[in-house]
Structure 1
Amino acid sequence: MSIAKQSKCQKRRATKITVIVLAGVIFAVLTSYIAFGQKQSLHDSTIRMAAILFRHGEKNPTSFYPNDPHQNREWPGGPGALTARGSLQAFSLGQNLRLRYHSLLPTEGMYSQQNMFVRSSYAERCIMSAQAMLAGFMPPTESTSVLPFLWQPVPVTSVPRLDDTLIAQKKPCLKYDKMMKEIYSNPPPDLAQLDADNLELYHNLTEFTGKPIKTVLDVEFLYNTLKAEEDMGLQLPQWTVGVYPDRLVPLAEKSYTLFTDNDYMKRIRGGAFVGEVYNKMAAKVNKTLESSRNLFFYSGHDVTLVNVMNSMGILNQTSTLPDFSSALVFELHEMSNLPEQYEVKVVYYQDSKTDNPNVINVLNCPTPCDLESFKKSMSGLLFDSYDEVCENPEKC
């Protein structure tokens, strides 16, 4: 081998060694940084509790209209079922939640009933979304996994829809139900005007769909069906051009907010959940809650989120049509400069891709919003007895 070629080989060998050594150093630095960073975040975190309300992942259409060209196709799981992409969305949400709330997990990251509680709407898509989210939020390590793959079972509880005041919110409420019927039968001026302005649209939609479209609720159901079909890549009928989504969105948004149209309705549909969160936080501060319990998950629907957010007066900071796997999180923080003093922070995850949530300003509660100020700002929503505030007849 010539001296020139030998010199070139030596240079290449030296370059390779340098690259390998440099890569090793970078890897070691990054590993140390990540480990140190995690220890620091675990040590420095001021979060002491989190209550997380999230929407399920993508689902099949729940209902169809008579002229729907897609109603007879095969829908895996059936109408309203969680899709494969919906499971992945919930899983991704769990991974993103882990980035912010991993310090609340036990050291080994394994489930413990003393550490957390998970509740879901009775709907299967919500239960399955909770399971997928938890798979992303708290995967075991290879050394702690008891199964031949990295997943651990976590219990998800639910109650029948007609007993649920928090998530499905279907428990009968005599006074509220009468009020809701009155809104549809005798619309308030703003809703009556909206219906009048869209009479021609309602008529055309009735002709196109083969289904009577008379109210914003009818439009909301139609919008949700079209949105689900569009999300799955299905071709929408030609008549939807110029109608969907632009003309339907404002009407669907109005339909969602009707459930919390006045202060009393906000109290029923939003107050039950806000009260749940406040009571958990107060118990945590007063040390009457299980000492290590600091994570509460609630798997629900888009209307659950809208009801809570509109009741709190923060809808303009979040979304009137929440995306799949969006989440509203109530955080309890110990003030770093005032030990044993606590404040409430609220953040919103727009969708399953969000890893840095938006900070929400709680109305009438300037930062720092301490726990008692939070209670005061939400006082119009809080109540002690659902049946009493609903004027439900006493059971014998």
Structure 2
Amino acid sequence: MAAKNDPSSGSLGGITTLLLGLAVAAPLLTQARQLRFVTLVYRHGDRSPVKAYPKDVFQESAWPQGFGQLTQVGMKQQWVLGQELRKRYEGFLNESYNRHEIYVRSTDVDRTLMSAEANLAGLFPPEGSQIFNPNITWQPIPVHTVPSPEDQLLKFPLSPCPLYQKLQEETRQSAEYVNRTRDNMKFLHMVANETGIADCSLESVWSVYDTLFCEKSHNLSLPAWANADVLAQLKELKDFGFEFLFGVQHQVQKARLQGGVLVDRILKNMSAAAQDSHSDELKLIAYSAHDTTVIALQMALDVYNGKQAPYASCHMFELYQEETGNFTVEMYFRNESGKPPVPLSLPGCDHRCPMEEFQRLLQPVIPMDWERECQIPCKARDTEVIIGLAACGSLLFLLVLLLLMVLFRQKSQPPGYQQVSIGEEQQT
């Protein structure tokens, strides 16, 4: 046994302690920065047009499943997105589907529900014990939704919202809207004549472009008037129409009434994930929705690029825990299949934005009380009025009933009979 004052003994002990310290610290150094939570907001895949213009030779019967339905091209687009997400989050998500890790919500629309299912087929192909049929490389995974009239999270523009409608009317009076209408008046009249649309405006012309775009994408012949220049101008007006919904004027106010609602939910989910340190916590939330959903979100974040969100495009929020224990947020936009998603930075912050700063910068677009800010008549006040009227009606009914009972009792007494009080009887 070495003496305490033996130099070799001290050196060996120090080296041993150092090696042990490095062995313990190595996993921490290699995993110092960890992905903790992901939110995805994606548009559905390729679909048939939502409608046809009156003079269109291709009406609903031209499409196998009718208007507004996900096509096989769209199914594949979402399946590919699911595969890309599987690669991106390999090591973060479980290799096989784990219901505790992921939650998917869709609008109550066929194409978004089917897109979510196709996406999940690419994200979680069944393996091992999850294969319930060897002939099917698919497994059922729940997709949640609410009826469209009740969807106050993903179906934009949100309504009813009187203040939003007022802001839209003010935007129609803005110089940019008036000038653009004037500069394109002749073109809009031409489109109206060719399509048979009675009222072709900056707000309705998007549907013409949408129909022609879908028909061209599926190799259907376009009418002679729909040449390359016309399509380009239609596309420009269509993009302006989307911007009109959430911007052009009063962008922050509109955001509080529209996309800010979704931003608020995303921030609350991030905060909950940052506070939960369990290994089996929820890791990913995916929202399957529409181009208007993505645009409303990006306008609220002030990162919108002015172009319609492509099919199967996906806005990503990634929450990281740094080696210091603090949390940061990174955003990406996947807008083209097979290419890395584009990094997005919240104005006023770096791409790797501290979560507290990320939340602080977004406070101006977060509604405190959506119904009040929308100037919707107070439901509580209406309820109080109804309760008050019901109470008054009940009281009136009781008074009438009491009066009738008194009258009936008086009529039922024998003629000449006079009721004598107890005091009078004793005095007689």
Normalization by structure 2: what TM-score? Answer: 0.77
Q: 1:57 aligns with which of 32, 36, 45?
A: 45
Find out whether 1:370 has 2:354 as its counterpart: yes
SS at match of 1:207: helix
Find out whether 1:195 has 2:181 as its counterpart: yes
Find out whether 1:310 has 2:295 as its counterpart: no
Moved over 4 A (4+): 42-45, 288-291
Find out whether 1:387 has 2:371 as its counterpart: yes
The equivalent residue for 1:219 is 205
Displacement after TM superposition at 1:43 (Å):
6.0
Q: Is the 8 A contact 1:163 1:171 kept in 2?
A: no
Q: Is the 8 A contact 2:52 2:60 kept in 1?
A: no
CA distance in 2, matches of 1:355, 1:154: 27
CA distance in 1, matches of 2:142, 2:281: 17
Q: Is the 8 A contact 2:125 2:137 kept in 1?
A: yes
The equivalent residue for 2:84 is 96
SS at match of 1:259: helix
Greater C-alpha Rg:
2
Alignment of 1:312-331 (within 5 A): 312-316=301-305, 320-331=307-318
The equivalent residue for 1:345 is 330
Find out whether 1:158 has 2:145 as its counterpart: yes
CA distance in 1, matches of 2:155, 2:314: 16
Q: Which amino acid aligns with 2:194?
A: F
SS at match of 1:214: coil
- Identify if the C-alpha distance between structure 1 residues 175 and 313 changes in structure 2 by more than 3 Å, giving closer, same or farther: same
CA distance in 1, matches of 2:378, 2:347: 35
CA offsets 1:12-62 (integer angstroms, 9 cap, x no match): xxxxxxxxxxxxxxxxxxxxxxxxxxx9xx967721111000000000110
CA distance in 2, matches of 1:268, 1:119: 21
Find out whether 1:275 has 2:259 as its counterpart: no
CA distance in 2, matches of 1:392, 1:213: 30
Q: Is the 8 A contact 1:45 1:103 kept in 2?
A: no
CA distance in 2, matches of 1:269, 1:328: 17
119-128 vs 172-181, which deviates more? 172-181
SS at match of 1:239: coil
CA distance in 2, matches of 1:63, 1:72: 7
Q: 1:240 aligns with which of 212, 226, 235?
A: 226
Displacement after TM superposition at 1:172 (Å):
1.7
The equivalent residue for 2:3 is none
Displacement after TM superposition at 1:366 (Å):
2.2
RMSD: 2.1
- Identify if the C-alpha distance between structure 1 residues 388 and 103 changes in structure 2 by more than 3 Å, giving closer, same or farther: farther
129-138 vs 386-395, which deviates more? 386-395
Displacement after TM superposition at 1:90 (Å):
0.6
The equivalent residue for 2:16 is none
Q: Which amino acid aligns with 2:189?
A: H
Aligned length: 347
Displacement after TM superposition at 1:123 (Å):
1.0
- Identify if the C-alpha distance between structure 1 residues 141 and 45 changes in structure 2 by more than 3 Å, giving closer, same or farther: farther
Alignment of 1:41-120 (within 5 A): 46-71=34-59, 73-106=61-94, 108-112=95-99, 114-120=100-106
CA distance in 1, matches of 2:302, 2:283: 26
SS at match of 1:175: helix
Q: Which amino acid aligns with 2:59?
A: Q
Q: Is the 8 A contact 1:80 1:125 kept in 2?
A: yes
Q: Which amino acid aligns with 1:153?
A: P
User: Which structure 1 residue ranges, 5 or more long, are not aligned?
Assistant: 1-38
CA distance in 1, matches of 2:221, 2:105: 36
CA distance in 2, matches of 1:334, 1:298: 23
- Identify if the C-alpha distance between structure 1 residues 241 and 367 changes in structure 2 by more than 3 Å, giving closer, same or farther: closer
The equivalent residue for 2:345 is 361
SS at match of 1:179: helix
Q: Is the 8 A contact 2:36 2:283 kept in 1?
A: yes
State the identity as a percent.
28
SS at match of 2:343: strand
Displacement after TM superposition at 1:267 (Å):
1.7
340-349 vs 148-157, which deviates more? 148-157
- Identify if the C-alpha distance between structure 1 residues 289 and 195 changes in structure 2 by more than 3 Å, giving closer, same or farther: farther
CA distance in 2, matches of 1:44, 1:128: 38
The equivalent residue for 2:276 is 287
SS at match of 2:104: strand
Displacement after TM superposition at 1:294 (Å):
1.1
Find out whether 1:132 has 2:121 as its counterpart: no
CA offsets 1:219-247 (integer angstroms, 9 cap, x no match): 11111111111111111100011443211
- Identify if the C-alpha distance between structure 1 residues 122 and 182 changes in structure 2 by more than 3 Å, giving closer, same or farther: farther
Normalization by structure 1: what TM-score? Answer: 0.83
CA distance in 2, matches of 1:166, 1:386: 12
Find out whether 1:301 has 2:290 as its counterpart: yes
Q: Which amino acid aligns with 2:68?
A: G
CA distance in 1, matches of 2:89, 2:33: 9
Q: Which amino acid aligns with 1:151?
A: W
